[in-house]
Amino acid sequence: MNVLEIIPICEKNIIIFFNFTLLTSLKIKNKYFKFIIPIFNSLTLFISSLSLLYYSNYYINQDIIWSLDLGLGFIIYSYMIYIILNWKYTSCFEHTHIARWKNIISLIFYIFYLIYWFYFAIIMFLKNNEPFVHIQILNVFMSYSWYLFFSSISILYYFICIKLIQRHTSINLWLKYLKNNRPSIEYFYFTYNDHHKKIKIFSRYWNILIFLGILLLTSHIPIDIISVLNHNLHDILGLVIKTFSLGWYIYNICKLNDIDNEIVPYLLKHKIYDANQIVEIEKHILYRPLGLNFFGFKLNASFVLKIILIVANLIIPTMYALLSNKIIG
């Protein structure tokens, strides 16, 4: 059987989509030419992040925010060079098939981010439509920079969502195997430690990007809300995409991080191991989580619920008061 036949469609998509970031030249064997395009693109992102110094009227609004995004894009793109160069270790592919609908949702958000780049580029070209060569060259330069930014964050978003879903699916399949086959306690510890090792390897390379993804989306949403309330209606599309994509992103993180709390109840429910063994398993799980740990912080459903309550009870009334007093809007 061809190896590609057993690779899930989501992993095939990842391989294809990474090509759109223009990092594929890193696969060239010549150690000098392989870095020309990636380094050029990294420098492009860095220079475009300083556009306020040489093209101060490019953006309609949020010019400082957009410039900071490109600066962050420079950091992300540079780190992606490291990721691609060490793809054998950083890909963390497991070839675990996931539910089709989960792949489709993740894919839709990937496509929406690229559509948003195209939408953003059109708006910027229409705004800066002066018939001067240097203006149009700068427009093309900035549009290319934003293509690098959106093609990078969209594939990272898709990759991270797929990996989180695969990890959760793999653990669920393992639990079902335990229920159906009731293996020895030694087998349990061996396979549990293997799952723990896989999330540690994944976290080692991707934790910083996962954290930056949360930071980027959560910081943009309130800024976009204020922008829309101030009648910048062109920001509505970005607000919708960012809000729903953040929801799906956090949902997948929480699903994986909450699975530690589901293992012992599952083992007890199906009476797979005796009471003494369960006690030892609880101790083992406590120091070897199967979820993501953001430098000592764990994002789960309980934490998200607390944040929602804070937003509902504090931030929304504050926004209403600001609107009522015409401080914003």
pLDDT band (50, 70, 90) for residue 4: very low
The pLDDT value recorded for residue 31 is 74
The pLDDT value recorded for residue 263 is 94
Query: What is the rounded CA–CA span in Å between residue 265 and residue 278?
Result: 10
CB < 8 Å & 24+ apart, contacts of 224-233: 225/319, 226/328, 227/61, 227/62, 229/323, 229/328, 229/329, 230/328, 230/329, 231/329, 232/60, 232/61
pLDDT band (50, 70, 90) for residue 1: very low
pLDDT band (50, 70, 90) for residue 131: confident
Average pLDDT over residues 295-299: 75
Query: What is the rounded CA–CA span in Å between residue 102 and residue 219?
Result: 25
The pLDDT value recorded for residue 302 is 74
Q: What size, in residues, is the chain?
A: 329
* Per-residue pLDDT tens digits for 25-42: 888 877 778 899 999 999
How is 270-296 classified by DSSP, letter by letter?
TT-S-HHHHHHHHHHHHTS-SS--BTT
- Listed in sequence order, the DSSP H helices in 63-184 are 63-85, 87-90, 100-127, 133-181
Q: Note the maximum CA span of the chain.
A: 79
Top pLDDT among 18 and 305 is at: 18
First-to-final CA distance of the chain: 62
Taking a C-beta distance cutoff of 8 angstroms, is the pair 67, 51 a contact? yes
Mean pLDDT of the chain, nearest integer: 89
* Per-residue pLDDT tens digits for 53-87: 999 899 998 899 999 999 999 999 999 999 999 99
Domain ranges, ordered by start, for the chain: 3-298
What does the block give as tokens for 60?
């309609």
Query: What is the rounded CA–CA span in Å between residue 99 and residue 166?
Result: 9
How is 208-251 classified by DSSP, letter by letter?
HHHHHHHHHHHHHHHHHHHHHHTT-GGGHHHHHHHHHHHHHHHH
The pLDDT value recorded for residue 3 is 44
The pLDDT value recorded for residue 322 is 58
| 297, pLDDT greater than 50 | yes
Query: What is the rounded CA–CA span in Å between residue 64 and residue 75?
Result: 17
Average pLDDT over residues 4-16: 84
| 211, pLDDT greater than 80 | yes
The pLDDT value recorded for residue 190 is 96
Percentage of residues of the chain with pLDDT beyond 90:
69
The pLDDT value recorded for residue 304 is 75
Average pLDDT over residues 278-295: 89
Among 125-134, 142-151, 284-293, top mean pLDDT goes to 142-151
Residues 6+ apart with CB under 8 A from 93: 7, 11
| 280, pLDDT greater than 70 | yes
The pLDDT value recorded for residue 94 is 87
If we measure between CA atoms, which residue out of 33, 35, 45 comes closest to residue 152?
A: 45
DSSP state of 52: G
The pLDDT value recorded for residue 2 is 43
What does the block give as tokens for 21?
């970031």
3-state SS assignment for residue 102: helix
The pLDDT value recorded for residue 114 is 96
| 325, pLDDT greater than 70 | no
Average pLDDT over residues 209-231: 90
Query: What is the rounded CA–CA span in Å between residue 285 and residue 192?
Result: 9
The pLDDT value recorded for residue 229 is 85
Torsion angle, CA of 146/152/156/157, rounded to 10 degrees? 20
Sign, CA dihedral 156-162-165-169, equals negative
The pLDDT value recorded for residue 226 is 86
| 147, pLDDT greater than 70 | yes
Top pLDDT among 325 and 60 is at: 60
The pLDDT value recorded for residue 59 is 93
Query: What is the rounded CA–CA span in Å between residue 228 and residue 139?
Result: 24
